[in-house]
Structure 1
């Protein structure tokens, strides 16, 4: 979706600090991390700026609302 909107700079916020550090460090991902982590790592190559930021809390209320819609 970001590619379709011609976005060149991306910041992803996530609760998993260890995963954010690994993605920002361009670590090779084993099967332990799964396909989502590998897909995020591959996707970062498409953008001029790509960063994962770890935050302590993500408000999931909007997501829960969308699931129920």
Structure 2
């Protein structure tokens, strides 16, 4: 399944919320958007939320953006 994600890096906590009014899942992560750290935190948070392995979560589009499309395989 593909999920539209809005990322909030450098948040005070790690969590997954949503979907919002636009149908996007919001992921808050404490990691900074430097050196792919925020992307790795997003993958970990979504894997935990959907109860799948991290290897089953792939960022399809938006590697350098706060708006991402993520594929989750079960």
- TM-score by structure 2 length? 0.23
- Greater RCO (Cα-Cα under 8 Å, separation 6 or more): 1
Report the structure number with the largest CA radius of gyration: 1
Structure showing the higher strand proportion among its residues: 2
- TM-score by structure 1 length? 0.23
Structure showing the higher helix proportion among its residues: 1
